[in-house]
Chain A
C-alpha cells in the first residue's frame, strides 16, 4: 500500500486552521508534499498530500488526532490513502 494519504479539511474559515492541522502533522512527523486551499463563500477547502512513511504513529492514530483537532477548530478533517482516488478516477 502506498505511503501517501490525502488530507482534506472543510469548514467555516477562521484564523489558525492551517496552523492547527499542520502542527498535528508535524508532531507525528508526517511530511506535507503538496498543499492547496480555496475559500468559497466563507468556506475553507484545503487539500494536502502527505507522506506518512516516516510517521511516528499509525494511520488510525493520525486520523484520531486530526479528528480531535478538527472538532477543536470546528472543521471536518479526513485522511484517506491516495489509492482510493487514483483507483476511482483512473483506468
Chain B
C-alpha cells in the first residue's frame, strides 16, 4: 500500500494534537438498563451493577490503548444509562437513593469519572416515579461522586411543563445547599433540558435514550484550539471564506472521532452510535470558544456582533463535520460554558459578557446557559424563570437548550468559585433583582407552539 499523504499533512496533524489541544473529548458507552427493572431493590441493584461492570469493564483500557496507538488524547471515558426514572417506576421513594449509590459504585468499579442517567423526562407531565426521582436528585448528587443527573422539562412537540420548571428551581437550590462545602458542585452535575438528545456523549446531560440499542459507543470530539489557529492564520479572509476554512478544519477534526469511534466499537464489541462534532472548550489557554469569536474581530466576547459570529462558527462546524461522519448526533456545535472557557471568564471579568447576552448566544449555538455561577441567595423562582426563558428558546426554535447554573452558597457577585479540573473556575454573575415569582407560581403547561404541528 503506497503512502497517500504528504509530510505537510503529517505535520498538520501533529501540530493540531501537540500544540492546539485537539482531542477526543469523550468516549461514552451507552448501556440500556431496561432489563434490570425489578420490584426487589436488592435484586435490581445487583442486576444494574453486574450489567454495567460486564459491558464496560474494558472501556477504560480500550480507550487508553487507542490513545496510545493513534497518539491522540482521549480525555474522558464515561457511561450513560437508561433514565433511572423509567426503570425505577414503582419502587418506594426511599429506594431511589440506593440506585444512585449503585451507579456510583459501578462507575468506580470500571474506572469512569462520570456516569449519566439519573434522569427523568417530564416535558408533558410527571409520573409518580418521575416525582420520586426528581425529589431524590439533591441528595443523590450530594452523596455520590460520579453520578450525573438531567431532567427534560420541555419539547417543541409538548410545550413547557412549568410545574417541572418551577420545581427544578427548588431542586437546584437544594442541590447547591447540600454540596455547600464544595461550592455547590452538585449543580455542575445537574442539567435541565429542552428537546434533550438521546445520544449525547457529553456530561452532565448524557443518558441512554429509549430508542437506543442494548449498548452503544458514542464519541465526542473537540478542537477549539485547532479552529482558533485556522481563524488566526487568516486575518484578512472575508466571512464567507472564513466559514469555508472553519468547515474544512471541522471536517478533519471530526474524521478523527469517526476513526476512534469505529475502532473502539470494534474492540469492545458494541455498535458504534454517533460522533458528536462539538467545540467544547477547556479552561486551558488556546482551547476556548470565546477566543475564536474574538479572533474573528471582536474586541471582547459578548460585544455586539458576538451572536452573529457564533452563528457562523456553529453552522460551519456542523457543515464540516456532517460530511466527515455518517452518524452525527448528540448536541453537535459550539459549547459556551462559562467556567470551562478561559476566554468566557475573561469576558465576564471585563464586563463585556452578561447573562442576557449569553442567553441570546444560546439561540444559535448548541447547548445553553452552561456552568454559570450565580449568587447563592438567588431565589428558586428566579432560577426557574431563567430555566423557563432558556427552554422557551429551545421550544420555539426546535432545538436543544439546557441550563446548568450554580447558585453558589454564600457567594455574591464579584466573588469567584473554583471547581478545579475540567469544570474550571467562574466569576459569580449577576441576575436580575426583579422578581418572577408570580409567573412561576402559576404553574401548568405552556402549550406546544404552532411549530409543533408538522404532521
Contacts and interface: CB of A to CB of B under 8 A. Distances in A.
B54 interface: no
Given A45-B11, A78-B71, A79-B71, A84 B256 contact: yes
A85 B5 contact: yes
Interface in A9-42: 34, 36
Interface in B390-433: none
Contacts, number: 64
Interface of B is mostly: helix
A8 B15 CA distance: 11
Contact of A34 (B3, B68, B70): B3
A80 B17 CA distance: 12
Q: Interface centre among B10, B12, B65, by most A CB within 10 Å? A: B10
A31 B68 CA distance: 20
A49 interface: yes
B68 A59 contact: yes
A2 B1 CA distance: 10
Contacts of A86: 4-5
B9 A80 contact: no
A83 B68 contact: no
Given A34-B3, A63-B68, A78-B71, A87 B10 contact: no
Interface string A48-91: 01000000000110010000000000001011111111111111
Interface in B361-415: none
Interface residues of A, number: 27
A81 B4 contact: no
B258 interface: yes
Contacts of A78: 14, 18, 71
A12 B11 CA distance: 16
Contacts of B70: 80-81, 83-84
Contacts of A44: none
A50 to B, nearest CB: 12
A80 B10 CA distance: 10
13 contacts: A1-B69, A8-B14, A47-B7, A47-B11, A78-B18, A80-B69, A80-B70, A80-B71, A85-B10, A86-B5, A87-B256, A88-B13, A89-B12
Interface of A: 1-2, 6, 8, 34, 36, 45, 47, 49, 59-60, 63, 76, 78-91
Given A78-B18, A80-B72, 4 more contacts: A34-B3, A63-B68, A81-B71, A85-B5
